[in-house]
Copies of this chain bind each other. A is one copy, B any other.
Amino acid sequence: MSPKITTELLKQLRQVMKSPKYVQEPVQAYIVPSGDAHQSEYIAPCDCRRAFISGFDGSAGTAIVTEQHAAMWTDGRYFLQAAHQMDNNWTLMKMGLKDTPTQEDWLVSVLPEGSKVGVDPFIIPADQWKRMSKALRSAGHDLVPVKENLIDTIWTDCPQRPCKPLITLDLSYTGVSWRDKIVALRSKMAERKVLWFVVTALDEVAWLFNLRGSDVEYNPVFFAYAVIGMNTIRLFIDGDRMLDPAVREHLQLDSTLEPEFKIQVMPYGSILSELQAVGAGLSPKEKVWLSDKASYALTEAIPKAYRYLTPYTPICIAKAVKNASETEGMRRAHIKDAVALCELFNWLEKEVPKGTVTEIVAAEKAEEFRSQQKDFVELSFATISSTGPNGAIIHYKPVPETNRTLSVNEIYLLDSGAQYKDGTTDVTRTMHFGMPSAYEKECFTYVLKGHIAVSAAIFPNGTKGHLLDSFARSALWDCGLDYLHGTGHGVGSFLNVHEGPCGISYKTFADEPLEAGMIVSDEPGYYEDGSFGIRIENVILVIPAETKYNFKNRGSLTFEPLTLVPIQTKMIDVNLLTQKECNWVNDYHQKCREVIGAELERQGRHEALRWLIRATEPLRVQ
């Protein structure tokens, strides 16, 4: 992987930063965040502006270009990758390290007095704008919105914005009709005394209307906004997608409906002017509800006195708590996914010793097995198939330049998942196809202990996920080890593999309390630069827990693993496990054997079934 040469591009960008064609006044710095206009985590190729200007294509990062400097902020997952992908024009700012300046502090330290800092107001979330604008203003600079995206002006071969057909989901998948979701949303709006709600996140639009798309790779979403009033529904979406009879039927576009459920379809690009019209027509005390992460442009469309901003929208919160149909779908999806992985691991055990399986081949084989399963749609993220030192690159994705051959001498880490029409999966297993060293087993076992500590945790109703994060680290901490990422993220139901408002991380505090029906991942790890990576990840469902007592009648919660894929026992140093942990592994494997065994049997996959039986032999304390 050689770095992208950006000298010429940076020169062009610095020119347009001063060009009266694009900016009212020259800007001395230009910020290129990684998001799109919906603050999506995964973005379409046309929105990969930060990767275009810098070469660094990890999922998180912010580039800032000044007349003299070009700097990239990213987090521990991407330090190595960013260092590899960027040329010497760029300074890597390692977030989370003590001496790394914030973007604001850095700007203040390098900018000449009274500078203007430009940013695309559709890309920067309102809360970030506010923070950054305040910090810059107090140092005598100005954050200014630059209407035309300056990267787009120099990106001559920028791809088209995708506009793919939609998928409609019926009640058997969603459990609740879009009409009922609108009713529930309006009741939340009435509770908070707001008249309008603006849906800006792509997965929230998809969830609200029980539609899916494929505009963004891995995320079954489509480019759209919605504005919901107490008596109106406006959907902002482009293309011929609304001509599809199935979609028209699903949204009842041609039926005679009560007016409050009649959907007005409008062009995607008209959201700003429509919202400005809504804003202009408000009377005192009439409020418009937006996420505080909505873009600065859309937020500014509503006069300040009329805005009602919250960190999590009512849709985000409702979407996180899966209903019975969604939970059942997630269970089915995870059973199919486990079948595919049993096939894969059986195949790997046979093929790896021959020396012909590369990281890319293994990833393709995983996708092949998954695609054989019913209702498979696509992968839910780029497969992390990594062996040996590549495993230490936390968000590694094999490419020909880095592609390494799996062997009986190295640890192999596979973090992969899929979108099925009934659910989304995300699972990581770490295996050795030869004889792991005592040290590798020791590290693996600490990670496993952390995984179990979260999965088996019992905690009161109302507990926020970040309070569980240290449980995952305790065994590693005891030996002076740790990992530099969070422990878990919310998982959508045939939606984004990363979703809010819950998660398990030391980094957040604003997460919403865990509730029965929420689904998160549990994925502690350990990474040794240049040697290996270990991660054990299950998707787990929050369920009520039975406890001996019940303090203040609050009730307790715990987790049920939805992922049912064997954890390689060869990697476990049984002597480091407590009896309780040992029982957890054995119970888990017993469940894998029963549930996945039955499905392998049903699908006639006898060889994989025999592999499963072998892989789930109970641990015995020596």
Residues of B within 8 A of A460 (CB): 477, 480, 482
Cβ contact of A467, chosen from B98, B469, B480, cutoff 8 A: B469
Q: Does A478 lie at the interface of the complex (its beta carbon under 8 Å from any beta carbon of B)?
A: yes
- Check A480 against B98 for contact (C-beta < 8 Å): no
Q: Given A469-B467, A471-B470, A477 and B457 touching (CB < 8 A)?
A: yes
In this complex, which of A545, A549, A552, A554 has the most chain B Cβ atoms within 10 angstroms of its Cβ? A549
- Check A477 against B462 for contact (C-beta < 8 Å): no
A516 to chain B, nearest CB (A): 15
Cβ contact of A481, chosen from B457, B469, B474, B549, cutoff 8 A: B549
Q: Does A622 lie at the interface of the complex (its beta carbon under 8 Å from any beta carbon of B)?
A: no
Q: Given A462-B98, A509-B509, A547 and B467 touching (CB < 8 A)?
A: no
Cβ contact of A470, chosen from B467, B482, B548, cutoff 8 A: B467
Q: Does A430 lie at the interface of the complex (its beta carbon under 8 Å from any beta carbon of B)?
A: no
- Check A478 against B462 for contact (C-beta < 8 Å): no
Q: Does A106 lie at the interface of the complex (its beta carbon under 8 Å from any beta carbon of B)?
A: no
Bound complex: CA A478 to CA B456 (Å): 9
A531 to chain B, nearest CB (A): 13
Q: Does A584 lie at the interface of the complex (its beta carbon under 8 Å from any beta carbon of B)?
A: no
Cβ contact of A480, chosen from B138, B479, B548, cutoff 8 A: B548
Residues of B within 8 A of A468 (CB): 470
Residues of B within 8 A of A480 (CB): 458, 460, 545, 547-551, 556
- Check A474 against B477 for contact (C-beta < 8 Å): no
**Which residue of chain B has the shortest Cβ distance to A96 in the bound complex?**
B462
Q: Does A459 lie at the interface of the complex (its beta carbon under 8 Å from any beta carbon of B)?
A: yes
Q: Given A480-B547, A551-B482, A471 and B469 touching (CB < 8 A)?
A: no
Bound complex: CA A474 to CA B578 (Å): 16
Within 8 A of B (CB), among A492-551: 506, 509, 545, 547-551
Bound complex: CA A417 to CA B546 (Å): 39
Bound complex: CA A556 to CA B481 (Å): 9
A439 to chain B, nearest CB (A): 9
- Check A477 against B556 for contact (C-beta < 8 Å): yes
- Check A479 against B548 for contact (C-beta < 8 Å): yes
A222 to chain B, nearest CB (A): 35
Residues of B within 8 A of A552 (CB): 482
Residues of B within 8 A of A305 (CB): 138
**Which residue of chain B has the shortest Cβ distance to A483 in the bound complex?**
B551
A101 to chain B, nearest CB (A): 13
- Check B467 against A506 for contact (C-beta < 8 Å): yes
A553 to chain B, nearest CB (A): 10
Residues of B within 8 A of A474 (CB): 457, 471
Sample 30 A-B pairs with CB under 8 A, ordered by A number. A98-B462, A138-B305, A457-B474, A458-B477, A458-B478, A458-B480, A459-B470, A459-B473, A459-B477, A460-B477, A460-B482, A467-B470, A467-B506, A468-B470, A470-B470, A470-B471, A471-B474, A476-B551, A478-B547, A479-B547, A479-B549, A480-B545, A480-B548, A480-B549, A480-B550, A480-B556, A481-B551, A482-B551, A482-B552, A509-B509
Q: Which residues of A contact B (CB under 8 A)?
A: 98, 138, 305, 457-460, 462, 467-471, 473-474, 476-482, 506, 509, 545, 547-552, 554, 556, 578
A-B interface, 9 closest residue pairs, ranked by CB to CB distance from nearest: A480-B547, A509-B509, A480-B549, A479-B548, A467-B470, A481-B551, A480-B550, A459-B477, A482-B551
